[in-house]
Structure 1
Amino acid sequence: MSLRLRATPELVTEAWLKTVVGDRVATTLPKDNSSWAASGFCTLVVAGGSPNLYVPLREPVIGVDCWANSPSSQKPPWNIAAALAEAIQAACYDHPGIPQTVTLPAGYPAAQIKSAYTTGEPRRIPDDPSSYARYSIPGLAIAWVEVPS
């Protein structure tokens, strides 16, 4: 018996964020920081939320960190990290752009995004030991359902 692959909060959020910031999002930062020095990068982690009790509607709350680095300077490029966070906030206000269907990796069903909103303002996280600029969105709530296959 083989298990059917199911959409997960991480996969769905990553797919939606890619529609906002491009291919600059994952659950971890790339090891090679020069690969994202010019554009910044977003990481995500499930922070909470709960699935609906009666219907297959999921609404995880995701912590999103927006990162930027400047390999040639010890001064963090705050404007790049802030611009990523603000792009995510603006996408939450793009009500005609949501709902939308996002494609997940091969073998996974697509997911229909029903709504997206933040639960707090992005905040600057100072004093990163690596001199990275980091803005943290404390909660990005994304309501979604799997698209039947």
Structure 2
Amino acid sequence: MSLRLRATPELVAEAWLKTVVGDRVATSLPKDNTSWAASGFVTLATVGGTPNAYVPLRDPVMSVDCWAVNKQSQKPPWNKAAALAEAIVAACQDHQTIARTVALPTGYPAAQVKSAYVTGDPRRVYSDPSSYAHYLIPGLVIAWTEVPS
């Protein structure tokens, strides 16, 4: 018996965030920062939420980390990381464009994003030993359903 691939909170959040900040989103930070030094990078992780018991609606809470690095200096580029975080907050406030269908990797069903909002303001995360600028959005809630195939 083969299992059917299902959408996951990380896949849906990553796909939706890519519509906001471009193709610089993943669940982990690339080890080689040369590929994202010019633009910054966004990582995410599921930190909460409960699937609806009666309808196929999901609304996980995601932790979103925005990163920036300056390869020519040890001074963290705080404004670049903050700009990524603020772009995500602004997208959550643009209610007319939040709802959309997002494509997931091959073999997975698409997902329909219904709503997205943040549960806290972005904040600086200090004491990164690599001199990266790091902003945290403590909660991004994305409500979604799988698109029936």
Do Structure 1 and Structure 2 share a fold, with TM-score over 0.5?
yes
Partner of 2:67: 67
Q: Residue 34 of structure 1: CA displacement?
A: 1.2
Distance, in Å, in 2 between the alignment partners of 1:131 and 1:77 is 9
- Match of 1:11, as an amino acid? L
Q: Residue 139 of structure 1: CA displacement?
A: 0.3
Q: Residue 15 of structure 1: CA displacement?
A: 0.1
- Match of 1:13, as an amino acid? A
Partner of 1:6: 6
Partner of 2:53: 53
Q: Which moved more, 1:90-99 or 1:132-141?
A: 90-99
Q: TM-score, normalised by structure 2?
A: 0.99
Distance, in Å, in 2 between the alignment partners of 1:30 and 1:38 is 14
Q: Residue 99 of structure 1: CA displacement?
A: 1.2
Kindly report which structure 2 residues correspond to 1:91-110, keeping only aligned pairs within 5 A, or say none: 91-110=91-110
- Match of 2:5, as an amino acid? L
Q: Residue 127 of structure 1: CA displacement?
A: 1.6
Kindly report which structure 2 residues correspond to 1:37-48, keeping only aligned pairs within 5 A, or say none: 37-48=37-48
Partner of 2:31: 31
Q: Residue 53 of structure 1: CA displacement?
A: 1.2
- Match of 2:25, as an amino acid? V
Distance, in Å, in 2 between the alignment partners of 1:98 and 1:63 is 18
Q: Residue 35 of structure 1: CA displacement?
A: 1.0
Q: State the superposition RMSD in angstroms.
A: 0.5
Kindly report which structure 2 residues correspond to 1:9-20, keeping only aligned pairs within 5 A, or say none: 9-20=9-20
Give 4+ residue runs of structure 1 displaced > 3 Å after superposition: none
Q: Which runs of 5+ in 1 are unaligned?
A: none
- Please state if 1:130 is matched with 2:130: yes
- Match of 1:38, as an amino acid? A
Q: Identity rate of aligned residues, in percent?
A: 77
- Match of 1:85, as an amino acid? A
Kindly report which structure 2 residues correspond to 1:72-83, keeping only aligned pairs within 5 A, or say none: 72-83=72-83
Partner of 1:87: 87
Q: Which runs of 5+ in 2 are unaligned?
A: none
Distance, in Å, in 2 between the alignment partners of 1:9 and 1:16 is 11
Q: Residue 6 of structure 1: CA displacement?
A: 0.2
Q: Deviations over 1:20-66 (max 9, x none)?
A: 00000000011111111110000000000111110000000000000
